[in-house]
Structure 1
Amino acid sequence: MRTAKPIPAELRAWAEQRIGSAVDVRDVSHDRPASRVWALECSHGVRRYVKVSPSDTFFTRETRAYRHVVPALGQGRAPQLIDSRAEDLALLLTAVPGHPVPATNLSAAEQRAALLQAGTLLARLHQAGEIKGPDRIEAGTALGLAADGAEKHLARAGDRLTEPERQLVRDHADRLSRVGPVPVGFIHGDNQPRNWMWSRPIRQLALIDYERTRPAALVQDLVILAATEWLDHPDREHAFLQGYGRLLTDAERFALRCLIALDAVNCLAWGPDHNDPEVTARGRRSLDRLMRKDRP
């Protein structure tokens, strides 16, 4: 059973200076040591959140995203940043209506509406702001950096992969490093249903959690979906891409397959070490499917 993490007194005082007295504070962190999030119920019936980022990098990415990228999604489609406290890596955020999609029993019609809206919101994020200067350089090197990380993930995974599986990952990393030009922009970085909030009364989706938002190849935002939600469900992929507003280019399709292989070994390295059976299963499923097909 997970032990609740109390909010530090100085963070509660800082938040209450900005939002007023909180009548209740609940730990709503994910079941991971680095996750620290609290819901504050205010006396006037409004909920706010305090989030402590796991690292300086995540804090910088998320605060930048809320200030310069997230507004492109539209009113009520993402939390808003009320304030930040750099010395504690803390963010004070508004709430959005709804519940995470995996925790909501969606009807078929709601599921299609959620997928359409998820595609639309991601397209808005991907098109937010002009990518130039250092951001363009970072985005242009993203796939190469992902390919370069393969050996690190293989080392961490150890004997959880067979030698043929290790070679398959290396083959895909090599091909990824030589993929031609692909569209770039700001990506969400953790685009998956757990970060999609569905409000049933208004049939509206919102997107949360921007600590991994950064300039990169846009196709990198589709890896988790391709390895989970779209797997054996082409109708879900079709609905999402309909909302997204375009089909993937040939180069993106090829890059996506390579990225799925790298995601698989990362999952098999990270999942067992953090006792996360869902992530581990995603990695094993992806790798098994790739092994059954011709290698690149």
Structure 2
Amino acid sequence: MTHATSLPPELHQWVTRHLTGMDTAAVTDASWPRGASRVWRVRTDHGEVFVKLYPSTEKYEREVQGCEHATRALAADEAPRLLASDPDRPAVVLSALPGRVVRGLPLEQAEEQRVHRLAGGLLRRWHDTPEPIGDREHQRIRASVTAQADEAAVILERLGDQLAPAERNLVRDAAHNLPDLARALPLAYRHGDYSPRNWLWDEAAGHHSLIDFEESAPGLAVEDLVWLCGAAWPTRPDLRDAFLTGYGQLLSSTEQRALVLLTARLGVSYLSTGLTKADTVLIDRGRTVLQHMVRAPR
């Protein structure tokens, strides 16, 4: 997807009301290739900000609420500040943070372990800062887990013959047991996309920070570990150890089992979507995740 490297006129006018120096601003498209939201880096004589335009009011509201949670949970330089917001567009202006996105950075092993340890500590503070979870949110969380279990069951019925026996058993376990397991798991305000693409690392200062809150919402705390469990930890147990050291506690047996099943559900979803769309990247990703989860301790 190709986005314009200038702000849409109406959005530019709105941003101008909140920022000075827009006449000489340098605008760079900073959107993720596969993302639905549009993001621009705006450099003015007075500093740098990010402007984000959302595909839905729900994404916008989650970003705003995530920023508010971050002000309570994290230090001021660990998350962007919300400088302006408009639910009618829906769009926000966010402060910029020092550092570069961790995903893809050529880090030495010791430095990468340090980043993951700091990321674990940051997530623990994020999770430990409470937010009210009402009846509607509890219902949404239960419905989300049930939907994931149902998806696993549907895919198993459709693609079971394309899975190895151990993979079929794992997906069947997810379909049958995730809803019951979820009842015993701790809830927290989740980041929702806790992965190195949303971590910033300032090497000179040794500083770690967090961005992108449009998936944040109350949910199962262990769901924030799914990407790491499926993509990073299977081949880098040292990063798992570093992260959990920073997090400050090991996973319980119930959390570990649920994490493996949630990750397996994601893997088989990748596989199903990849086969439907003939997307070899998703097919390979799905098969790799399933193979890793078969070998993961439960």
The answer to whether TM tops 0.5 is yes
Q: Does the CA-based 8 Å contact 2:226-2:263 persist in structure 1?
A: yes
Give the CA deviation at 1:290: 4.3
Please point out which of 36, 39, 47 is paired with 1:37: 39
Structure 2 equivalent of residue 72 of structure 1: 73
Distance 1:160 1:173 in 2: 13
Pick closer, same or farther for the CA change 1:170–1:17 going to 2, 3 Å.
same
Structure 2 equivalent of residue 59 of structure 1: 60
Alignment of 1:236-251 (within 5 A): 236-251=239-254
Structure 2 equivalent of residue 92 of structure 1: 93
Pick closer, same or farther for the CA change 1:25–1:158 going to 2, 3 Å.
farther
Distance 2:274 2:71 in 1: 29
Q: Does the CA-based 8 Å contact 2:131-2:189 persist in structure 1?
A: no
Structure 1 equivalent of residue 13 of structure 2: 13
Alignment of 1:1-296 (within 5 A): 3-5=2-4, 6-22=6-22, 23-32=25-34, 34-44=36-46, 46-134=47-135, 135-139=137-141, 142-151=144-153, 154=155, 162=162, 168-179=170-181, 180-270=183-273, 279-290=282-293
Residue deviations 1:64-123 (CA, integer Å, cap 9, x gap): 111234541111111111111111121110111111112322122321211111001111
Give the CA deviation at 1:271: 5.1
RMSD over aligned CA atoms reads: 2.8
Distance 1:9 1:90 in 2: 14
Q: Does the CA-based 8 Å contact 2:160-2:168 persist in structure 1?
A: no
Pick closer, same or farther for the CA change 1:235–1:175 going to 2, 3 Å.
same
Q: Does the CA-based 8 Å contact 2:101-2:199 persist in structure 1?
A: yes
Give the CA deviation at 1:53: 1.6
Residue deviations 1:230-260 (CA, integer Å, cap 9, x gap): 1132211110011111111111011011101
Pick closer, same or farther for the CA change 1:49–1:8 going to 2, 3 Å.
same
Q: Does the CA-based 8 Å contact 1:227-1:282 persist in structure 2?
A: no
Distance 2:77 2:193 in 1: 19
SS at match of 1:288: helix
Distance 2:81 2:159 in 1: 44
Q: Does the CA-based 8 Å contact 2:101-2:197 persist in structure 1?
A: yes
Pick closer, same or farther for the CA change 1:58–1:269 going to 2, 3 Å.
farther
Distance 1:74 1:100 in 2: 19
- TM-score, normalised to structure 2, is 0.87
Distance 1:264 1:52 in 2: 29
Distance 1:272 1:99 in 2: 34
Q: Does the CA-based 8 Å contact 1:26-1:40 persist in structure 2?
A: yes
Q: Does the CA-based 8 Å contact 1:140-1:217 persist in structure 2?
A: no
Pick closer, same or farther for the CA change 1:33–1:99 going to 2, 3 Å.
closer
Q: Does the CA-based 8 Å contact 2:153-2:175 persist in structure 1?
A: no
Distance 1:63 1:293 in 2: 36
List alignment gaps of at least 5 residues for structure 1: none
For 2:265, give the aligned amino acid: L
For 1:220, give the aligned amino acid: E
Give the CA deviation at 1:146: 2.8
Give the CA deviation at 1:148: 3.2
Q: Which stretch of structure 1 is more off in the superposition, 271-280 or 244-253?
A: 271-280
Q: Which stretch of structure 1 is more off in the superposition, 205-214 or 80-89?
A: 80-89
Q: Does the CA-based 8 Å contact 1:140-1:184 persist in structure 2?
A: no
SS at match of 2:208: strand
Pick closer, same or farther for the CA change 1:128–1:149 going to 2, 3 Å.
farther
Q: Does the CA-based 8 Å contact 2:86-2:92 persist in structure 1?
A: yes
